[in-house]
């Protein structure tokens, strides 16, 4: 039995959902509601002491950290290969995954956190500490304190905006060489990117559009049209479905 404990098909939580739908592999999907902080519940922390999603269980092995888990699953499971055989293209795939995980996606998350902060009611320090006390990783507790106290630094948002702009230009440059990030075939690099940036033409239309980034836009259309991508996003229970529909309408997919 293959089991996936995760949230919506969005960012890190969605990586195994998209990957397994592309592989055509059956799995049990255990929905972990981040809005209710189920990832910090006693039951979930017994499974994954870091309190992060996703957690995948395969043959009794508990797998955490989303991107390494994708490589494991691609090697261990039947279905279309999602890693290039060519050593250079494999390097390219891993380069993109590292870039996305370390630079691009955290910058997007910073904006997401700031948006969540604006939507939250004002809370006193005691209430904030009570709500973050079950977060096991100190760095994550610090981030949530900032978000809940509405203290996300302006300098951090400016740096995140710079990184996003630079990343968009890198996407356009890479996709001038190949139709997908790691070559001519859809790979894990595209999964890691797509599950987070699927709505980029909607959220940053002034930077991502057919005039400024035509190759990036074509990549979005190719990825959104894939049956595996459609099946993965159909698993969403919340706002992700609406955002995906908005992106597809803009793209004409």
pTM over 0.85: yes
Asked if the model's pLDDT at residue 177 lies above 80, the reply is yes
Domains of the chain: 2-76 (3.40.30.10), 87-197 (1.20.1050)
Q: So what's the pLDDT on residue 143?
A: 64
Q: So what's the pLDDT on residue 121?
A: 64
Which residues are 204's β-sheet partners? none
More confident residue, 119 or 231: 231
Distance spanning both ends of the chain, measured CA to CA: 34
Asked if the model's pLDDT at residue 244 lies above 90, the reply is yes
At residue 120 the predicted structure's pLDDT band, cuts being 50, 70 and 90, is: low
| Segment 155-170, tens digit of pLDDT | 777 888 899 999 999 9
At residue 109 the predicted structure's pLDDT band, cuts being 50, 70 and 90, is: confident
Q: Distance (Å, rounded) from C-alpha 16 to C-alpha 56? A: 8
What SS3 state is found at 100? helix
Asked if the model's pLDDT at residue 227 lies above 90, the reply is yes
Q: Distance (Å, rounded) from C-alpha 42 to C-alpha 39? A: 9
Q: So what's the pLDDT on residue 218?
A: 98
Q: So what's the pLDDT on residue 135?
A: 72
| Segment 94-104, tens digit of pLDDT | 999 999 999 99
Our measurement of the distance from residue 198's CA atom to the centroid of its chain's CA atoms, rounded to an integer in Å, reads 9
Average pLDDT over residues 158-184: 94
Contacts of 214 (CB under 8 A, 6+ apart): none
Residue ranges of the alpha helices (H) in 6-104?
11-23, 42-47, 66-76, 87-99
Q: Quick check: bond before 14 cis, omega within 30?
A: no
Instruction: Please give the mean pLDDT across all residues of the chain.
Output: 90
What SS3 state is found at 120? coil
Strands (DSSP E) found in 119-214: none
Q: So what's the pLDDT on residue 154?
A: 75
More confident residue, 211 or 123: 211
């Amino acid at each position: 039995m293959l089991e996936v404990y995760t949230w919506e098909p969005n960012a890190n939580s969605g990586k195994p959902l998209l990957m397994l739908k592309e592989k055509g592999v059956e799995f049990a999907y255990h929905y972990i509601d981040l809005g209710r902080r189920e990832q910090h519940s006693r039951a979930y922390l017994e499974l994954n002491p870091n309190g992060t999603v996703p957690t995948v269980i395969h043959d009794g092995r508990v797998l955490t950290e989303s991107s390494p888990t994708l490589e494991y699953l691609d090697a261990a499971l039947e279905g279309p290969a999602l890693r290039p055989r060519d050593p250079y293209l494999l390097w390219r795939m891993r380069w993109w995954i590292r870039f996305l995980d370390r630079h691009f996606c955290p910058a997007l998350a910073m904006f997401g956190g700031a948006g969540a902060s604006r939507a939250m009611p004002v809370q006193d320090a005691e209430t904030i500490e009570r709500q973050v006390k079950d977060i096991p990783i100190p760095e994550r507790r610090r981030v949530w304190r900032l978000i809940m106290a509405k203290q996300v630094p302006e300098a951090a948002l400016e740096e995140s905006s710079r990184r996003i702009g630079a990343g968009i230009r890198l996407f356009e440059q890479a996709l001038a060489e190949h139709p997908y990030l790691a070559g001519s075939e859809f790979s894990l690099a595209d999964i890691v990117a797509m599950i987070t940036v699927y709505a980029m033409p909607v959220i940053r239309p002034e930077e991502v559009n057919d005039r400024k980034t035509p190759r990036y836009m074509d990549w979005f259309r190719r990825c959104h049209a894939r049956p595996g991508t459609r099946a993965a996003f159909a698993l969403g229970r919340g706002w992700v479905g609406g955002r995906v529909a908005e992106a597809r309408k803009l793209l004409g997919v």
